[in-house]
Structure formats: C-alpha cells, structure tokens
Chain A
Amino acid sequence: MKINNIKLYAIAILVSVTALNCNNDDDINISTEPNFSGTYTQEDQMGRPAVNTVFVSSGMKDAFNTTIPSEQGAAFQTMFQNNLEGLSPAYNTPTDANALTLTSAQFTGLLATDVLNVSLDGTTTFYDGTNVLTGRALADDVITVELLLIFGGEDFSENPGLSNDNVNANDKAFLSSFPYLASPW
C-alpha cells in the first residue's frame, strides 16, 4: 500500500514536471522573439584534444569538465602526473623528459589547465615540426603528436610502437574556404 502511494506521488510529480515543460514550450511558440532568458550551467569543457579522456581518472571526468580552467591546475595536476607516469615508461625517472624538454611534472603542469593557445600573429598549428601549440588546425595529427610527447621520450625514439597510431589524415578532404569541414557522410 505504502509503496503504491509512493508510486502515485512519483507519477504525479513526473506529470507536473512534464506539464511545466509543455507550458514553457507553449510560451516560446507564442512569443515572436526567441527566448534567450535564463541561466545556463556548465556540463562539458574542452581546450586541447584528448586531455580529459587520457589524463583524468574515470571517477573524476565530470568534475574536470565542471572546473574552470584557472582552477584546474591546482585541482588536477597531481592526478595527471600519476596517470602519465603510470601510462608511459618514457617517464620512469623524475629527470625523464619529452621532446619539448618537459618532465612529467612540467608536462602535466601545462596540460592540466585545459586551454588551447592560439597565436594571432602567424601559423596556427598544434605542432608542425617548428611551431608548437599555436592553435589547432583541422589536418593536424594531434593524436600522434600527443602519443610522441607521452611515449616518445626526449627525441621521439622511445616506444616506437606506441608513439604513432598510423592514422595520419582525415577520411574526407577539408575545404580551403569556410566552413572548412567536409560535407557529412
């Protein structure tokens, strides 16, 4: 009996919530101007590619997405470093570094604040052999760059089987003009 009552209450609440949503929709439809009011609250965040998926432990991924960049370093750098050292034998000792001459502490200090640096003065690329972290272009092989920095050691020569996924380009050609991305499949 009690359980049935609870069920009824649950249904009643569900119906009232649904009804409220319908009312909101009606209001939008009646209005001639789109409704842009209200507060919007963060659910996902991204700066550099693959950072949350590779460096954040499974139980912390939503927390990382809802931490503002200016607070991410303090909150997550240690986790990033532990996960990097657990993942890659290229950081076996504290003095081990990658090709940017960054140790695991320095590299994760950079990555834990998940923003994409963009140059307004010239070439924009994740890495093109010369320029480093000046943007992210569509054709940049960002995963291989990240694998090299994670597994490749000081001169990109360590762990060769892990430092390139051997997928070097997109499956459709990009456009030279806006909107740049290829038409959908």
Chain B
Amino acid sequence: MKKTKFLISTAVLGIATLVAIAADHIDAPAVQGGTSDITDFYAFEGEDDSNIAFVANVQGLLGAGSDTQNAAFDENVLIEFNIDTNDDKVEDLVIQATARDGKMYFFGPVAPSQTGLNSTIASTTTNQASVDISAYGASAIIENANGMKFFAGPRDDPFFMDFAQYGQIIAGNASSFNSPGTDTFAGTNVMSIVIEVPKSMIGGSGTINTWVESKRKQ
C-alpha cells in the first residue's frame, strides 16, 4: 500500500516537473491547475494600427469537449493588465477584468488607487464596459465601447512548443530536440480575455512596459 502510494506520488511529481515548462502554464505550486493560473500574455498592434491588443489566457490544457464546456472564469479572481508608461517598472495604468454572472466586466485604462500586490476594483472610472462571456461552441461575442473592443471566453491555446521533448532534455533523457517537433499544446484550449485599446489611451507613443497579474478576492 505504502509502496503504491509512493510510486503514484513519484509519478505525479515527475509529471508535474515535466509539465512545469511552458509559456507560463502551471508555472508555480500555488496557482498550477487553478482558476488564477495565467498561461500566457500577448501584446501586439491591432488590425487597426492605432490600437494595441492585449491577450491574457488562464486555465490552460483544457481538452476539447466537456473539459472546456465545464471551464469557467472564477468570480473571485481579478485579471489585471498593468501598463508602465515611464519605465520605472511600476504600473501607471491598469485595465481590470473580472467575471460576474455570465459577463466579463472591464475597468480602465485608469490610474490604480494603489500599485503593487493588492488591488481594489476601479468601479467608479468612466472607462468601463462589459461583454457576455462567449459560450463554448458559439460565435465569439464582441463588445465595442469607449473606442475599445472586448472579448472573453474559451479559445484555442495560441501557444506552441515541443515541451515534452524539452522536459526529456532537462531530465537528461535526450540530448536534442526532434525534427520535426511535436506541439504539446495541439488540440488544447484556454480561457481567454482579449482587449483592444487605442494607443492614445496607454501612452500614445514610445515604448511601454506591460505585464498581467491574477489577484484573488480576500
């Protein structure tokens, strides 16, 4: 019995170690596999080149079917896009997103009431909007407000990597990648939040620093 348990825990540990190599999927013990686990963050010029699109993905490695069907944004989790416009690595503006009863609510860009590890929701800002969370299997629902665009719902995981082979290399079981490699994230989904915002609302010109955070209601 004890031996079985030991073998199982060893196997689980082995898998966890292997799995802990990705964009940010399952990156740390406190968040891995949970509703606040950020898998990826993207920021790029939009189809309209006067805009920047931000993407935050959470809850990675969702399989097609019931796995994705049953996935939901956690109403106690706040996803916060941070924007530093003066290169001091401290957020000058935030865009906050949090789900309530089938909708994703957005606040910002707005100067946060406090910077750092703790946040309150900027529920009095004039820059606010909401979008119905798109259902699995239905068309994407897009909301336009204040010159911005908003989406929330399940999407294909845009990340690609042969991370199984990377794990083999790190573990000392292989000395190189395969050619061609195998995309470990093929066929998997994430819960995605996409925002498009005019550049004029996040600094206008030059280079900004951006990052995304997940924060849980205390």
Residues of A within 8 A of B196 (CB): 178
Report the bound CA distance from A18 to B62 in whole Å: 28
Report the bound CA distance from A182 to B17 in whole Å: 29
**Which of B34-73 touch A at CB < 8 Å?**
36-38, 40-47, 52-53, 55, 62-64, 68
Instruction: Return the chain A residue nearest B206 by Cβ.
Output: A120
Cβ of A14 under 8 Å from chain B: no
Cβ of A70 under 8 Å from chain B: yes
B165 to chain A minimum Cβ distance, whole angstroms, is 7
Range of interface residues on B (Cβ < 8 Å)? 35 or more
B206 to chain A minimum Cβ distance, whole angstroms, is 6
Residues of A within 8 A of B215 (CB): 40-43
Residues of A within 8 A of B80 (CB): 40
Instruction: Return the chain A residue nearest B151 by Cβ.
Output: A179
Cβ of A82 under 8 Å from chain B: no
Contact B180 A118 (CB under 8 A): no
Cβ of A38 under 8 Å from chain B: yes
Selected contact of A178 from candidates B46, B182, B183, B202, CB within 8 Å: B46
Cβ of B204 under 8 Å from chain A: yes
Residues of B within 8 A of A121 (CB): 205-207
Contact B209 A120 (CB under 8 A): no
Residues of A within 8 A of B161 (CB): 143, 165, 167
**Which of A22-73 touch B at CB < 8 Å?**
28, 34-47, 49-54, 58, 61-62, 64-66, 68-70
Contacts A115-B89, A165-B166 given; does A181 touch B120 at CB 8 Å: no
A63 to chain B minimum Cβ distance, whole angstroms, is 9
A7 to chain B minimum Cβ distance, whole angstroms, is 23
**Which of B171-215 touch A at CB < 8 Å?**
175-183, 185-189, 192, 194, 196, 199, 202-215
Range of interface residues on A (Cβ < 8 Å)? 35 or more
Contact B120 A119 (CB under 8 A): no
Residues of B within 8 A of A50 (CB): 21-24
B181 to chain A minimum Cβ distance, whole angstroms, is 4
Cβ of A162 under 8 Å from chain B: yes
Q: Which residues of chain B have a CB within 8 Å of any CB of chain A?
A: 17, 20-25, 27-31, 36-38, 40-47, 52-53, 55, 62-64, 68, 77-78, 80, 84, 88-90, 98, 100-101, 105, 115-121, 123, 136-137, 140, 142, 149, 151, 154-156, 158-163, 165-166, 169, 175-183, 185-189, 192, 194, 196, 199, 202-218
The 7 closest A-B pairs by CB, nearest first: A161-B176, A61-B28, A40-B215, A166-B181, A34-B100, A179-B151, A47-B211
A-B contact pairs, 17 of them (CB 8 A): A34-B105, A39-B218, A50-B23, A64-B28, A65-B30, A68-B115, A69-B89, A114-B211, A118-B52, A119-B207, A124-B43, A137-B42, A143-B161, A165-B177, A170-B156, A179-B151, A185-B68
Q: Which residues of chain A have a CB within 8 Å of any CB of chain B?
A: 28, 34-47, 49-54, 58, 61-62, 64-66, 68-70, 113-125, 134-138, 141-143, 161-162, 164-172, 174, 176-185
